[in-house]
Amino acid sequence: MKRPNAEILLKKTFNLANFYDEQWETISKILNGERVLLIEKTGFGKSLCYQFPATIFDGLTVIFSPLIALMRDQVKKLNALGIQARCINSEQTPEENNQIIEDAKHGKLKILYIAPERQESAAWIDATQEMKLSMVVIDEAHCISVWGHDFRPAFKRIINLVNLLPQGMPVLATTATATKRVEGDIMQQIGNGVQVIRGSLMRDNFSLFVLKVSNEDEKLIWLGQNLDKLPGSGIIYTGTRSNTEIYSNYLTWLGIPVSNYNAGLNAESRIQVEDGLIANKWKAIVSTNALGMGIDKPDIRFVIHTQMPQSPIHYYQEIGRAGRDGNPSTIILLFNPNEDVKLPRAFIEAGKPSIDKYNKVINALKAQMLGERDLQKKTNLTQTPIRVIKAGLIEQKIIREIAGKKYEYVMNAPALNTKSFEALRNDKLKELESMIEYVETKQSRMNFLCEYLGDAPNASFTNCDNT
């Protein structure tokens, strides 16, 4: 298909005039049945790169996404355009999800959004055999890579489906944040012949600041004195659930309209807070990083961190919520050099388990087959490290999953290769050191972030406290 003809269909279906050059480059490769890794900044329009081809293909496009809010919003918009789209996620009843699967099997849908965890369901895997698939999309593809800033073991299972796809069926992986190392890992997993399209990650509508404080109280005081002076509405990120409540209660007491958001809220409460943000009901949402990229509000005018993230990649991803409309946006990190390194270091230690914890899981499964909850009880480990450990041990063929979501030790399994785990943990600690370098740098802050992500610096960028 030629670009002029495609843009006629684009206008007719999506009411958009034309593609960006990188969008068309991606779409043309997809229409030719190629596998593509698209690395573009937030707000670029990555979703159009799979939504448009999905309307051209005869069959079903399956999009794996960890972002429930994004699923809901995009399905709503696609349906409004007359495109048959649905999503499957944990907020819906089993009956609703099963009906959507049936509709997909019978060719009633063009687009199906689904959480990666669904790959753990035998019923879903069986159902895919009866679907006429035209394309598979992996959104937030950095979650595939153990070297990525948000590795999720469930994403590994997507590769099992990708490996079963016939040659010539397009696969698109998208992300806004991938270092060269993560890029290489994603390419290796998706398969041979992957085409990489990497755009500029420069966000030249951002003004970036780091404000050093001596304690947590000074952060609260600064927000109380300055939040109302910032234009528009935005997001305040904290490091813990309890801090979302402390900060939101304090700011509410001062008469500033804010709400808190964290993974502990039920689905209905999360939707209410998200809708309130989109409708400008709140000056700010005080949130953990549970407030994901799926929030469709292009005019977020500021992002403030009260806790330093674990790495420059985390930071770039989280500030990317701001200014997707291209208008000026303010980015602030409130940093306490005496305390603020402790929490991200603790997250790294929890998320990248020690070798002792791997051996605990191995020994427990040598004794008996166990499901995930029983494994947690036997080892006294929480869900996050258990899932990371399981993924690593399955990859090394030391344990395997069997019927009923149980796991067993593989007889005569190879010895645990600890080098990769130690290297990964050390890599994450180095990333934390790089985040400290961001705080202390005297160069352009956006250039620092772009160079870290493998992008070229821009000498003309001067919007920060260092220039």
Residues 35 and 68 in one domain: yes
Residues 375 and 394 in one domain: yes
Residues 143 and 243 in one domain: no
Average pLDDT over residues 187-207: 88
Residues 157 and 227 in one domain: no
> In angstroms, rounded to a whole number, what is the distance separating the alpha carbons of residues 309 and 239?
8
Domain CATH code at residue 373: 1.10.10.10
Q: 362 and 237 in contact (C-beta within 8 Å)? A: no
Residues 88 and 137 in one domain: yes
Residue 293 scores a pLDDT above 70: no
Cα–Cα distance list, 172 to 64, 179, 181, 186, 190 (Å): 10, 18, 19, 11, 9
Domain boundary among 166, 198, 230: 198
Residues 111 and 179 in one domain: yes
- Which pLDDT score, from 0 to 100, does residue 13 have? 94
Q: What percent of the chain has pLDDT over 70?
A: 98
Residues 192 and 252 in one domain: no
Letter string b/e over residues 150-167, b meaning 16 or more CB atoms within 10 A of that residue's CB? bbbbbbbbbbebbeeeee
Which residues are CB-neighbours of 377 under 8 A, at least 6 positions away? none
Which residues are CB-neighbours of 308 under 8 A, at least 6 positions away? 315, 333, 335, 340, 341, 344, 435, 436, 439
Measured in degrees and rounded to the nearest 5, phi and psi for residue 159 equal -60, -30
If one counts the domains in the chain, the total is: 3
> In angstroms, rounded to a whole number, what is the distance separating the alpha carbons of residues 176 and 139?
10
Residues 198-232 have pLDDT tens digits of 988 889 899 999 999 999 899 999 999 999 999 99
The DSSP code for 143 is: G
Average model confidence (pLDDT) for the chain?
88
What kind and span of H or E run contains 237? strand 234-237
Q: Is 400 contained in some domain?
A: yes
- Which pLDDT score, from 0 to 100, does residue 387 have? 83
Q: Is 424 contained in some domain?
A: no
Q: Is 434 contained in some domain?
A: no
- In 3D, which of 79, 76, 150 has the Cα closest to residue 116? 150
> In angstroms, rounded to a whole number, what is the distance separating the alpha carbons of residues 255 and 265?
23
How, if at all, do strands 406-409 and 399-402 pair?
Answer: antiparallel
Structural domain harbouring 395: 350-416
pLDDT band at 294 (very low <50, low <70, confident <90, very high): low
* CA angle at 184 for the pair 182 and 189, rounded to the nearest 5°: 95
Chain-centre distance for alpha carbon 59: 27
- In 3D, which of 386, 356, 392, 353 has the Cα closest to residue 371? 386
When computed from its CA atoms, the radius of gyration of the chain, rounded to whole angstroms, is 23
Q: 123 and 102 in contact (C-beta within 8 Å)? A: no
Residues 9 and 155 in one domain: yes
Residues 262 and 330 in one domain: yes
Residues 77-103 have pLDDT tens digits of 999 999 999 999 878 888 898 899 999
Q: 362 and 399 in contact (C-beta within 8 Å)? A: yes
Q: Is 71 contained in some domain?
A: yes
Domain boundary among 297, 317, 343: 343
Domain boundary among 198, 226, 244: 198
Q: Is 124 contained in some domain?
A: yes
Residues 215 and 336 in one domain: yes
Residues 41-64 have pLDDT tens digits of 888 889 999 999 999 999 999 999
How, if at all, do strands 370-371 and 406-409 pair?
Answer: antiparallel
> In angstroms, rounded to a whole number, what is the distance separating the alpha carbons of residues 96 and 104?
13
Domain CATH code at residue 13: 3.40.50.300
Average pLDDT over residues 445-459: 85
- Which pLDDT score, from 0 to 100, does residue 223 have? 97
Residues 164 and 239 in one domain: no
pLDDT band at 292 (very low <50, low <70, confident <90, very high): low
> In angstroms, rounded to a whole number, what is the distance separating the alpha carbons of residues 370 and 390?
12
Q: Is 290 contained in some domain?
A: yes
Residues 17-37 have pLDDT tens digits of 999 999 999 999 999 999 999
Residues 342-370 have pLDDT tens digits of 888 877 776 677 888 999 999 999 999 99
Residues 169 and 104 in one domain: yes
Please list the residues that pair with 38 across neighbouring strands. Answer: 174, 197
Residues 378-421 have pLDDT tens digits of 999 988 788 888 888 888 889 988 866 789 999 988 888 888 77
Residues 135-166 have pLDDT tens digits of 999 998 988 887 777 777 778 778 878 888 88
- Which pLDDT score, from 0 to 100, does residue 278 have? 86
Q: Is 369 contained in some domain?
A: yes
Q: What percent of the chain has pLDDT over 90?
A: 49
Q: Is 444 contained in some domain?
A: no
Please list the residues that pair with 173 across neighbouring strands. Answer: 37, 138
- Which pLDDT score, from 0 to 100, does residue 439 have? 94
Q: Which pair of tokens denotes residue 249?
A: 């209660």
- Which pLDDT score, from 0 to 100, does residue 199 have? 87
Global confidence as pTM: 0.81
Letter string b/e over residues 307-339, b meaning 16 or more CB atoms within 10 A of that residue's CB? bbbbbbbbbbbbbbbbbbeeeebbbbbbbbeee
For 150-204, give the DSSP string: T--HHHHHHHHHHHHSPTT--EEEEES---HHHHHHHHHHH-TTPEEEE-----T
